[in-house]
Structure 1
Amino acid sequence: MTEIAPEFAGRLALVTGGARGIGRACCLRLAAGGAKIALNYAANHAAAAETKAMVEAAGGICELFQADVGDEAAFAAAVNAANERLGPISYLVANAGTTGPRHHSELTLDQFRETVRVNLDGVFIAIQQVKDQMLAQGFGSIVCLSSIAALRPRSRQIDYSAAKAGVVAMMRCFAEALAPHVRVNAVAPGLTDTDMLGRLDQTLLPTRLAAMPLGRFGQPAEIAESVAFLLSERAAFITGHTLVVSGGDVMEP
């Protein structure tokens, strides 16, 4: 196995939705690069504890902070606790999200609002809670998780696609607002082998897979590697960019 350079050593990374899937992979990848991990999760304590144990087994530092990222007061308290226990936050991975594909005839306004609350409001709240300490440090790097659903029509993901498109637009605005000392980028994963894949219409997946140039689903570790790149100083001249990681399913620009 190739040794990973300790490019994040001595700094704290906050990962929202870090208990499973892409969030877990990000925690493991950043910890392998030397970062201390503040793992935020909403409800699944068992999965969060498992991720924490995995980080620690590899020699890293990880603390758990439970809060609904769409609840401003609760998330602010979690960030304050992370600061008290681990120090100032240098990196943010705004990853927490949810989806529940529905036909347009079944989608209600309350469901739409809940999807936006988690997927878009949650990214805004997370950035709002860390940006001032990053600016005070004169250093910070943020990666927001969007989706290829933000870039292509998805008739059964109207709410999710709208929220993830909002993430891209908001990321660009924050990139300009927080420059030059804080960089803000996004990763837009394609179909990735996580729990969320199981919530999609399984009858459509074979056709989608057959049309993908690389012919397979992505792995969480591959998305995490892209996140780590954008957070790192290897990407020091990149801000306001959305990196599509989809096996060629979506090619941008």
Structure 2
Amino acid sequence: MATKEFEGRTALVTGGSRGIGRATCVRLAQEGARVAINYAGREDAAEETRRLVEAEGVAAMTVQADVSDPAQVEAMVQSVEADLGPVGLLVANAGIGDSVPHTKLTYDIWKRTMAVNVDGVFLCIMAVKDGMLERGYGRIVCTASIAGLFGRPMMIDYAVSKAAVVGIVRNFSGALAPAVRINAVAPGLTDTDMVAGSDPVWRQSVIDNTPMQRMGTADEIAQMIMFQLSDRSSFSTGQTMVASGGRITLP
């Protein structure tokens, strides 16, 4: 029997209870990783993800934490490492975002978006990087968005926060190499619970302007994350990979 790539490794997935996070947790389990599933408020969803992970025959745990809170992030990592072992794989996936025109954008909305989407990524990286460097192994993938790669006048706070994630990845990559690789995935419109609650007219207009003429699936994004975590991308760090069905192309 072939050895699974992440057998013996511990993975922490923030925002792991639903959508892209859940799909990534299951894919990690299929490759043998022990999986810690972070969630903010939906314990029921996190427990369902845990059941799916454990069905693959690996150890799993759920851990509640607000990733924008430094103390909670530190406690989360300590709990995971006590129960499942040192974190060698981090998927910084937790995020929030709503469509807010500039006329309704407030400083409070701005601060909360930045706290979760930017500070949350930074804090999680900081909490695991030193251990990864000491052990000589670490793989980090952050969930950005195509919104961070071009102008989004109806989602200014969200788009800026995701552009910051791209910047975090670029700047940490050189600092942590060669032992630790860090990359990002930038999904386009993806069929998740978050998107299901969006305006259907807007949703269809995006699909109509996507060359593939559909939304992506959570598992399609998860498989890109798995590629970035795996040794198949061993010469890649500091990069942002786009999965948008052709909606955005980069040089």
- Is 1:4–1:33's contact at 8 Å kept on the other side of the alignment? no
Partner of 2:58: 60
- Name the TM-score, length of structure 1 as normaliser: 0.96
Q: Distance in 1 between matches of 2:250 and 2:125?
A: 25
Letter in 2 for 1:77: A
What is the CA-CA distance between 1:65 and the residue it aligns to?
1.1
Q: Distance in 1 between matches of 2:50 and 2:203?
A: 32
Q: Give matches, 1:188-199, under 5 Å.
A: 188-199=186-197
Partner of 2:202: 204
Q: Distance in 2 between matches of 1:15 and 1:205?
A: 27
Asked if residue 41 in structure 1 is aligned to residue 35 in structure 2, the reply is: no
Q: Distance in 1 between matches of 2:110 and 2:60?
A: 33
Q: Distance in 1 between matches of 2:197 and 2:102?
A: 16
What is the CA-CA distance between 1:207 and the residue it aligns to?
2.0
Q: Distance in 1 between matches of 2:243 and 2:89?
A: 20
- Name the TM-score, length of structure 2 as normaliser: 0.97
Aligned alpha-carbon RMSD (Å): 1.3
What is the CA-CA distance between 1:201 and the residue it aligns to?
3.4
Q: Give matches, 1:165-176, under 5 Å.
A: 165-176=163-174
What is the CA-CA distance between 1:200 and the residue it aligns to?
3.5
What is the CA-CA distance between 1:205 and the residue it aligns to?
2.0
Q: Distance in 2 between matches of 1:4 and 1:251?
A: 37
Partner of 1:50: 48
Residues 133-176 of structure 1 deviation map (CA, whole Å, 9 limit, x = unaligned): 00011010100000000012111110000000000001110101
Q: 1:217 aligns with which of 204, 215, 218?
A: 215
Q: Distance in 1 between matches of 2:199 and 2:62?
A: 33
Q: Give matches, 1:9-20, under 5 Å.
A: 9-20=7-18
- Is 2:59–2:84's contact at 8 Å kept on the other side of the alignment? no
Partner of 1:124: 122
Q: Distance in 2 between matches of 1:54 and 1:189?
A: 23
Residues 2-61 of structure 1 deviation map (CA, whole Å, 9 limit, x = unaligned): x99711111001100000000000100011011100111111100000000111122222
Deviates more, 1:158-167 or 1:204-213: 204-213
What is the CA-CA distance between 1:199 and the residue it aligns to?
4.3
Residues 170-219 of structure 1 deviation map (CA, whole Å, 9 limit, x = unaligned): 11101011011100000000000001213433322222211211111000
Q: Distance in 2 between matches of 1:26 and 1:160?
A: 22
What is the CA-CA distance between 1:109 and the residue it aligns to?
0.5
Deviates more, 1:198-207 or 1:128-137: 198-207
Asked if residue 85 in structure 1 is aligned to residue 68 in structure 2, the reply is: no
Partner of 1:233: 231
SS in 2 for 1:204: helix
Q: Distance in 2 between matches of 1:160 and 1:169?
A: 14
Q: Distance in 1 between matches of 2:193 and 2:35?
A: 22
Structure 2 unpaired stretches of 5+: none
Letter in 1 for 2:77: V
- Is 1:15–1:93's contact at 8 Å kept on the other side of the alignment? yes
Q: Distance in 2 between matches of 1:227 and 1:40?
A: 17
